[in-house]
Structure 1
Amino acid sequence: MAADRLTQALGAPLRCRPRVTAAAVGQLARAGLLVRLGGDVEFPDVHPEQVAALGRRRDLPALLDRHVPLGPAQAARRLGVRRADFDACVRLGWVAPVGSVEIDYKRQGGVTTVPLYCAEDVALLPVVRPSVDWRAVYAAPAGSRSPLAALNPVDPGQDRVLLAEVARMARVGRAAVVNWRRRHADFPAPTGGTDVHPQFDRPAIVAWLLAHDKIEVPVGMPSASLVVVGAERRTVRFRLDGPHLVLADDVEGEDQLSGWSTDGDADELAALAAGEFGASVGRLTAPGTVPLAVLGQVRVIERFRSGSGGLRVTLAWPAGRRAGPRDGCRSRPGR
């Protein structure tokens, strides 16, 4: 019951957030966030009012990441990838277990030791490995070879980064990292390389960036918000997680927006865009771009189900229909 309530408190099902389990409630109790009233130590009884208060906390996702370790399947869900892709991350030495638990599958296999991973370490992988094409990993079809399979494992103690990669982690220029190194006495010392191109221990760099608020643990995927106007001026607001917006360079080209969606939203979005003139977008807000609008001819061109179970939707429209948000929906759809 407590696990279900906390899962509901997380809001709409997130592609990169596993359900809260009874074992997770036990972890939260051991962390002092809930008081154990009785029951098993691993699966305690807790007060419903405390559960409700915890569910109202805005930092609930961060608390779960900090205190609740994840099994391999849960870690794959938290990362938003297939289990095979997460197993590849483990093989490459990018993430290591922080503990384990024994599970008795009885007739299905007896007692099995399952490794547990820190959810924060898992969530940070796309941040601290910026050279990886994570978009390809997220979208890998079921049954296909992992995009990570061709990469070589990291040698123990040899996971090093250059200043340029540190800059990519923090999304700043290399000059900013050089300045941090000069100004902060606790900046990690080089562990290799040359005076011109020093190399640094990646775990030490990540710890420093976190401690100095240069990076943060993602609590979810970035999202785009769009207000779509269909036939008879019906207006619906949608959210696309992990958006990828490509704007054409000239008005004769085509703009595209893709992102992860729920099945219900994808169906409704397709229905709005199914008319003769497509749909309009009154306002589109996506990370890294200014808000924009689209005056008609918006259509759904692809619905793709990834191997991890997520549904990715791609919208397209003529670049010439793009406008500022104040112009959105003032014009009739083009013929």
Structure 2
Amino acid sequence: MEALDADAIRAAMPTQPISGGAAANQIADALGTPNPTTYSERANVTAFVVRRFVDRCLLVDLSANPNGTLHHPDQVAEVCARKDLADLVAADTPLGPEQAAARLRVRRADFDHMARLSWLRSPQSIEVRHGTSRAGAVDVALYTTASVDAVIPAHPEVDWEQLRAVEKGKRSLLASLRAVRTPALTACR
């Protein structure tokens, strides 16, 4: 197999690729909810969503850098023109474990069991720092809203109302369940 020549690919593109952050900004603009220009405010569409669009084969990542993505601007424009763009972004919005547990209306301990059981997977984690030192940094798993919303329909064997009624400090009804191996996801074609 021949190696791809990065310079030849760049020369074939009429414009330079844009970063995942720039793609997220363009998507936010297309939704009419522009991302803030300062870091003190929360973005409406993040690079997390752009990475999920790559996972869904809606965008191609032109970068070999694991810390960032690059995208063809015309492809980003095509995604921005989709009628279902708002639904796609909503489905791929990141939730931390606390937010996911609240969305499912279960205790965090119950949600941790769901993650242990592989009922949903975290496509990405972020480093959260306490203070300015990295010494207190922890990785926090992020989940897509769609994957969290899919848990209840995928597990009708669970009495969700009974699970939600378990009091704080009591053992989770999910604690004794064993994880079942699931097949790996397939790549884009």
TM-score band, normalised by shorter chain: 0.5 to 0.7
Q: Please state which structure has a larger fraction of its residues in strand.
A: 1
* Alignment pair present for 1:134 and 2:156: no
* C-alpha separation in 2, matches of 1:108 and 1:137: 37
Map 1:82-231; keep pairs closer than 5 Å.
82-106=107-131, 110-157=136-183
Which secondary structure state, in structure 2, belongs to the residue aligned with residue 36 of structure 1? coil
Q: Shift of residue 98 of structure 1?
A: 1.5
* C-alpha separation in 2, matches of 1:132 and 1:44: 35
* C-alpha separation in 2, matches of 1:30 and 1:99: 22
Q: Give the partner amino acid of 1:137.
A: L
Asked whether the equivalents of residues 100 and 113 of structure 1 are also in contact (C-alpha less than 8 Å), the reply is yes
Q: Shift of residue 104 of structure 1?
A: 0.9
* C-alpha separation in 2, matches of 1:121 and 1:37: 27
Change (3 A) 1:142 1:109: farther
* C-alpha separation in 1, matches of 2:36 and 2:170: 47
* Structure 1 stretches of at least 4 aligned residues deviating more than 4 Å after TM superposition: 27-30, 61-64
1:40 maps to 39
1:305 maps to none
Map 1:1-335; keep pairs closer than 5 Å.
29=25, 31-32=27-28, 33=31, 34-36=33-35, 38-40=37-39, 43-44=42-43, 65-106=90-131, 110-157=136-183
2:50 maps to none
Change (3 A) 1:119 1:156: same
Asked whether the equivalents of residues 28 and 68 of structure 1 are also in contact (C-alpha less than 8 Å), the reply is no
Q: Shift of residue 65 of structure 1?
A: 3.7
TM-score using structure 2 length: 0.53
* C-alpha separation in 2, matches of 1:154 and 1:124: 17
Q: Of the two structures, which has the highest relative contact order with CA contacts closer than 8 Å and spacing of 6 or more?
A: 2
Aligned length: 123
* C-alpha separation in 2, matches of 1:150 and 1:76: 19
User: 1:273-319: CA deviations, max 9, x gaps?
Assistant: xxxxxxxxxxxxxxxxxxxxxxxxxxxxxxxxxxxxxxxxxxxxxxx
Q: Shift of residue 152 of structure 1?
A: 1.0
Asked whether the equivalents of residues 95 and 121 of structure 1 are also in contact (C-alpha less than 8 Å), the reply is yes
Asked whether the equivalents of residues 92 and 146 of structure 2 are also in contact (C-alpha less than 8 Å), the reply is no
* Higher CA-based Rg: 1
Note the aligned Cα RMSD (angstroms). 3.8
User: 1:16-47: CA deviations, max 9, x gaps?
Assistant: xxxxxxxxxxx9856423223521397359xx
Q: Give the partner amino acid of 2:171.
A: R
TM-score using structure 1 length: 0.32
Q: Please state which structure has a larger fraction of its residues in helix.
A: 2
Q: Shift of residue 68 of structure 1?
A: 1.4
* C-alpha separation in 1, matches of 2:168 and 2:26: 38
* C-alpha separation in 1, matches of 2:43 and 2:90: 20
Unaligned runs of 5+ in 1: 1-26, 46-58, 159-202, 205-335
Which secondary structure state, in structure 2, belongs to the residue aligned with residue 143 of structure 1? coil
1:175 maps to none
